[in-house]
Amino acid sequence: MAGEQAFERNSGAQEVKLGGPGPLRRLMLSGMATISYPGSQAEQLLLAPQELRTADPSFATEIYNGHFGLAGKLAEIGAQSPFEIDPPSVSWARGLYGFGWLRHLRAADSELAREQAKALVHDFIRLRGKIPPLAWQPEIVARRVISWLSNSVLILDASEPEAYEAFLKALTAQLRYLSAGYRDAPDGVPRLLSLMALLYGGLCIADQQPVVDRYTKPFCRELERQILPDGGHISRNPEALIELLLDLLPLRQCFVARDRTPPKELTDAVDRIMPMLRFFRLGDGSMARFNGAGPTPTDALATVRAYDDIDGAPVRSAANSGYVRVEAGTTLILCDLGPPPAASLTRDAHAGFLSFEMSSGDAPIVINCGAPTPEFEEWRLYSRTTPAHSTLSLEDDSLAEFAVAREGAEPEADAALIGPLNPQGAFSDQGEGGNLRIKGSHDGYVERYGISHARQILIAPDGNLISSEEKLSTRGLRSPEGLIAGSYAVRFHLHPSVKAQLMGDGMSALLVLRNGETWRLSANAEEMSIEESVLLADPRGPQVTSQIVLSGMMGEARDVRVVWNLERTGEETAPHPLIDPNDAPETRSSDT
């Protein structure tokens, strides 16, 4: 089975390709930069933006001992500069050239850390001509600019005028490069980040008012486009909201510090995003694992939530983003009912339409596998497939297709996602008997298997019973030639804290939650089994867990209906302990 095969770890060496703008493109951008950039050569810094990302002061000690750890990889640099070694991974290189690690040196608050920071920035400036193309991708240049500005008090020393001047000259060059190349940034967060970096430069450097005037309007237009009316992001990735706030909030403060009113679009976007953070949080505080969301950055989430001064419960239906949140009693369900994002944003998107996650109180129950951290890139493609989600799949295939470079080739981890066809979803709180109803359907399997899928979930008002029907139908559809029979699998990926046991009847399973609650899953499927699964969205790396699978064959039937019920029993057991992911060793996978 495809899902089982994905569990085989690839231990082979990986070639690190540091691609980016080609030499001719870089030369053109450099020439355009001198014309397009409205600012002057930086001569004085007025502001250092607040750094909201968590810092680890032990990083300075690691560098002193010849180690440079980023994105879950540890490079042995010895007495060399990290800019002169072969990077252990692309993610490590992105983190290196983004300079987000400067905050760790600043947190060390020592003279040694200060000297290390100044030496490393000087190394980059000195070796600029030998820096690989990846470092000139617009989003990495943008991250570098923001990191340099945020940590400028660490880098600059008025008693070293030559170093001071060299830094400001290099900073200006980065801003000029961005001014010519920000449109080349990938759609979504990278493009918005590029515009933010230009505004940061205009606000933090003296006498750069033309820069602020030039880029405020395109920034506001892009912000309005990317942050949907309900507060979600156009990528449909919940984690993108946290990352954006970590930069939007300090940017808003910079406008205020320069006695300028922040653009209305900026203030409104922040106000829209805050309720969506609450929308995507499950009972245990983690963010829902949809469309590229990985381990919840709990420290960053806590930081940005401290700025949330908007009271009130989250909405039930985020129609623009394509998600539904249902709270009934202590039961919480989040379901993906949205179409895929625009084609330019699907390289992180998941084929998880109609999948759901569920918690009871502070105990998670049903999850999606989620996206892995960068050091486990070999899991990334699997994490995007339908079998990695709590929904129905046919033939262990995905309900959307991954683009390939050539016919017969395997998709790349960041392959564009195509489909599903005709996704339909709706939520109603006017169901019969007071039940809350989620329903949806799609034709993602029609072209390959001639079968459509519809799912309906009913939630009792007290949250103690969830009833669902999965309908597979060939009526009115023509099956592709050569298909003998289609096997289906309805998957319930369970959180590692859930203990599952198949009951004697073979058609029900008992689930024991970490808070002592017990739930029973029963179904009319041909077979129910408990199989191995994996939680990929964990800061410690992939965590083995289990999944309940309802399976059977479509055969010659025109319609197949799989009915399942998930019901809270009256039985209680003693709560069992769980290792808190917050206590896991830090991986610094967000240093980009």
In a domain, 507, yes or no: yes
In a domain, 67, yes or no: yes
Indicate whether 324 and 182 sit together in one domain. Answer: no
**Taking a C-beta distance cutoff of 8 angstroms, is the pair 381, 404 a contact?**
no
Residue range 58-98, pLDDT digits in tens = 999 999 999 999 998 999 998 899 999 999 999 999 999 99
Q: Is residue 468 part of a domain?
A: yes
Q: Indicate the residue among 152, 187, 222 that finishes a domain.
A: 187
Per-residue model confidence as pLDDT tens digits over 12-70: 334 466 666 655 455 445 555 556 799 999 999 999 999 999 999 999 999 999 999 99
In angstroms, the CA 237 to CA 339 distance is 13
User: Could you tell me the pTM of the whole model?
Assistant: 0.90
The pLDDT mean for the chain works out to 89
Distance CA 550, CA 524 (A): 9
Task: Answer yes or no: is 558 within a domain.
Answer: yes
- The strand pair at 417-418 and 487-494 is best described as unpaired
User: Are residues 324 and 177 part of one domain?
Assistant: no
- Which range marks the domain in which residue 111 is found? 44-187
Number of domains the chain contains:
2
Quick check: helix, strand or coil at residue 388? helix
Token code pair at residue 43: 């001569």
Residue 202 to residue 214: CA distance in whole angstroms: 9
Cβ atoms of 48 and 152 closer than 8 Å: yes
Does any domain span residue 520?
A: yes
Q: Is residue 517 part of a domain?
A: yes
99-144 pLDDT, tens per residue?
A: 999 999 999 999 999 999 999 999 999 998 889 999 999 999 999 9
Give the domain-ending residue among 157, 187, 217.
Answer: 187
**Would 225 be classed as within a structural domain?**
no
Q: Output Rg (C-alpha) for the chain, integer angstroms.
A: 25
CATH number, domain of 404, equals: 2.70.98.70
Give 160-207 as a 3 state SS string: CHHHHHHHHHHHHHHHHHHHHHHHHCCCCHHHHHHHHHHHHHHHHECC
Whether residue 223 lies inside any domain: the answer is no
Name the most confidently modeled range: 21-25, 146-150, 341-345: 146-150
Cβ atoms within 10 Å, residue 369: 31
